[in-house]
Amino acid sequence: MGNMKRIAGISILLLVIVTITAIIDIRFLSPFNVRNVLRWTGLFGILSLGAAFVIVTGGIDLSIGSVVAMIGTFSAYLMARQGVSVALTLFLMLLLSLALGLAHGLLITKVRVQPFVVTLCGLFIYRGMARFVVGDMTQGYGTGFLGLKNLVKSRFPQTFWPGTPPEFIVNWSIPMPFMILLILAIILAIVLNKSVYGRHLLALGANERAARYSGIHTHRVIIIAYMISASFAGLGGLLFSLDLNTVQPSASGQMYELYAIAGCVVGGISLRGGEGNITGVIIGTAIVRVLYNSINIAGIATQLEFAVLGMVILIGVSVDEIVKMIAEKRRIMESADPEALQRKATA
């Protein structure tokens, strides 16, 4: 219920931003722009979804950006340079990112190193590896790999339309990355809210020891969460590299972990853990992306891009906290019995 309220709140925020920007420049709602915003929301949303699962455990994943760079670089390198088959490459990349998540999880649960430290080291290490393996050289897919590129370039249903699709379909087809995000979101929503794993995750996020005493394999649950985060980052890395068709090992994905976390925070997921809300994450990411877009369209100085983003996050979260406090006060008033209230009034 509190969740519902929050979702409503951020949906309104999103709507407000959209409306204002549309008033400033109606082209904000043009098919072209909507498509772009959806595409970016899709790509960044995938990272946020993964991050969310780690955040629910009360942990944090700072390695996302570096994993994006590493998987992106390696994918292009293997397929385009080394001529490794697409299937094998994808398989290897999946394996690699899962392995990274596993390593994070093991270090955090078994060696008891704090998540912040483990994934911070990940942030340093993985980009270094990526840069080293390809000698800092930009990787790309060239003109080939069209099938694979459809993962990001194609649109639904346009691309799959029998014959030439009508104007409307062409304009308003949904970019594949966003479709992918939606599908993943639905799956994760079920996992989080309906599955046993989800219950265990939420319980553990709120009180790890109690969860263990209730016979939950807390370590396993945590490790899986980090594997989800890492593999989603990996998927993101692949899609980003395909979208741009080039990867710069030293530059791509930088700070993306922060965007991912920001998406979750704006989406109302507390970094304290024990709270999860997939819809919130999607809307949160959308807000962040729309904000960028709006700033550019509204012609606000690019230098302020980040400043505005920061401001909005901060205000959003603060308002959230303040609302909570007010709600608490209100509940106090309600739970006081009438005579007491009336005594207060007279006093």
Tell me if 257 contacts other proteins by CB under 8 A.
Answer: no
What residues between 3 and 42 interact with other proteins by CB under 8 A?
25, 27, 30, 32-33, 36, 40
Figure out which of the listed residues 17, 203, 262, 278 binds a second copy, where binding follows CB under 8 A. 262
Q: What 8-state DSSP symbol labels residue 304?
A: G
* Residue nearer to a second copy on the CB measure, 128 or 165: 128
Q: Which two tokens stand for residue 12?
A: 């309104």
Q: How far is the CB of 158 from a second copy (least distance, A)?
A: 36
Tell me if 321 contacts a second copy by CB under 8 A.
Answer: yes
Partner from a second copy, other proteins, none binding residue 121, C-beta < 5-8 Å depending on class: a second copy
Helix boundaries (H) for 25-145: 31-56, 64-76, 86-109, 115-133
Q: How far is the CB of 122 from a second copy (least distance, A)?
A: 7
Q: Pick from 235, 230, 229: which is nearest to 281 by CA? A: 229
Figure out which of the listed residues 78, 103, 181, 203 binds other proteins, where binding follows CB under 8 A. 203
Tell me if 200 contacts other proteins by CB under 8 A.
Answer: yes
Can you name the residues that pair with 139 across neighbouring β-strands? 247
Cβ atoms within 10 Å, residue 17: 18
Partner from a second copy, other proteins, none binding residue 124, C-beta < 5-8 Å depending on class: a second copy
Tell me if 347 contacts a second copy by CB under 8 A.
Answer: no
Tell me if 87 contacts a second copy by CB under 8 A.
Answer: no
* Residue nearer to a second copy on the CB measure, 167 or 328: 328
Q: How far is the CB of 338 from other proteins (least distance, A)?
A: 8
CA dihedral 116, 137, 259, 314 (to 10 degrees): 90
Are the C-beta atoms of residues 71 and 93 closer than 8 Å to each other? yes
- Which residue bears the tokens 């204002």? 20
* 117: helix, strand or coil: helix
Are the C-beta atoms of residues 226 and 61 closer than 8 Å to each other? yes
